[in-house]
Structure 1
Amino acid sequence: MKVLVTGASGFFGGRLCHALLRDGHSVRAFVRLSSNLSYLPTRLDNVALEITYGDITDYPSLLEACVGCNVVFHAAAVVESWLRDPSMFFSVNVGGLKNVLRAYKETDTIEKIVYTSSFFALGSTDGHIADESQMHTGKYFCTEYEKSKTIADKIALDAAKEGVPIVSVCPGVMYGPGKLTCGNMLVRTFVERFNGRLPGYLGDGSDRFSFVHVDDVVTSHISAMEKGQIGERYLLTGENASFNEAFDIASTITNTKRSWLNIPLFMIELYGWLFVLFCLITGKPPLVSPPAVDTMRHQWAYSCEKAKRDLNYKPRSLSEGLKEVFPWLKNMGAIKY
């Protein structure tokens, strides 16, 4: 198959390109001129990755990249909790999907689109565990990212009803070896914790997130290409746990002491406002922001039984996944224990 991967230089996109090449597919990576390509494969089994430059918001460059491709993995997205210019969430996360759908209609080779949505697109699950049948109420959004992915989710579902061969996959909180971007937030948080910049637990531990190893998400994207039903959503989630439970698992794996301090969320939110102020002065993205803290006041717990049944999805436990992450972080010098 000739496959196009948008967002190929990202934390997830790079891992997907590696896997697709290993499976014998011809892969075209769609990246920006300014992208860091260090995590992309250069040559695997004598097959080179094809690099195509452009921008998901620049339709002509995307259309050119789509020509001759059988499958499009649309993984390009702005994954942040806060941006100085919030319109970026909508131009990329919503406008980018619209451009992919337009390109499908103007080419004659694309047989399937696998769209990387998000568990945020389904809304919070406060007090229960949700499945793919849940629809976001649209009444309140913790972040502009959540809002943009919710809008894009509806666009994808509507496109499928109109005959577009699109499958939506909704990953949970991805983590694993690779780029330490906002898309790899759990691992970034561990780096802060093990370097003493995050001395305690986050809040009272009532939050719930569905943590999933990036390679499990990659494998199921490929399964969605092969087995996913048009118009369906598949939750690619994993173990539902709090950040504090993840910290305890980390302490067990690394044989380090657990924290005795609980940092109230309102204090973390104040810290986030300082980061935002620093961002406004320097232009550097904040490590934590008030909208990110707002997500921790809710629960985001999901079932992945549908993906297990239809895509042969086999997510590893959080403990199993983190046993791989910490030696990697230690070997690269990001943490010590």
Structure 2
Amino acid sequence: MRTTGSYTTLGSTHYFIPFALPPHDPPLHLNNTIIELYGEVMLYLGRLNEIAYKIPNKEQFIKAYIIKEAIFSSAIEGIHTTVLDIYTQPLLDTKVNKNTQLVLNYMKAVEHALFLLHSEGLPLSSRVLLSTHTILLSSGEGEKANPGNYRKQTVRVGNLIPAPPEEIPSLMSQLEQYIHYDTSLEIIKSGLAHVYFETVHPFLDGNGRIGRLLIVLMLIQSKMLSEPILYPSYYFKKHQLEYYQKLDEVRTKGDYEGWIIFYLKALKESMIDAYRRINDIDTLRNTYIERINNHRFSAKANILRLKSLTLLFGSPIISIPLLAEELAVSYNTANQIIKDFIAMDILEENRTSKRNKLFTCQQYLNALEHEYE
């Protein structure tokens, strides 16, 4: 059986310290199952990148997919909220629900990490992960977990006691070296990096969410994925017990191959789901455009309604004042647009908000939350 790390004893505590990647003694075996799954993942990845390149206003889709990953990844940690809550909260005057705030933090963390990689040109490194962790735990009781710093105390994760705090900087440095200098297949590499990160468990809190975000960031940095429109946590959440089991069996059984098979299945199913969802959302958008164009508005009124539709596919819950502000039009003009959209079955009044009159593009929300068989 392959050994994937060693135990060190300090006092009465036995800490597990993973060996540096890639796996060795023996090296990772690319068996027939892995090779077949890898080929399928590459096929679906190509399709996903192609459709992401073609869709107009891709920022709308990117935001929606970041929300889905944020919700799924947080749900694995017992943090539950809904797409409706995420879109509604910024429009309300009420205090943010704790779980919703934690998911909003995750969304900001993703955007921050992407900014550091793309706009700042930073390599994926401890600096990026620590900065992202700061955003992730910036509010919603996360402040108690020392945001932006590696843990300074011993923790237990199930039967695992991860490496002692003083070992974490060097272990994370080894992970950096692997990410940037190993020549393994990038898809496989991201899966191995994830299990290594979760085994080190470098933070007091937020390890799972940062570790799953690391997958997407690695695929984007390596240019395997063009945009953050993949949500692997969709599969991890559906198979949560197996997810934890496969991670743990790398340590207890040396079974990297079993983990990689599970991981490739997760990427494949997530890519299929993302691809289908983009198609469905784009079909819905085109249906709405056809309804607007068939209504025979004046040229100016038609343009305003198409702009309003673009706004809705970025934020499918809206108020009259917000629409007026976004379009730089009067309250009455915005009100008329919303009335027209209600008549065209694009919007409906949101009855959950008593103080602020809100309107929801429910079919868009349904498309985001629909569970495919």
TM-score (norm 2): 0.27
- Which of structures 1 and 2 has the larger relative contact order (alpha carbons within 8 angstroms, sep 6+)? 2
More strand by share: 1
Structure number with the higher helix fraction is 2
Q: Quick check: which has more Rg, 1 or 2? A: 2
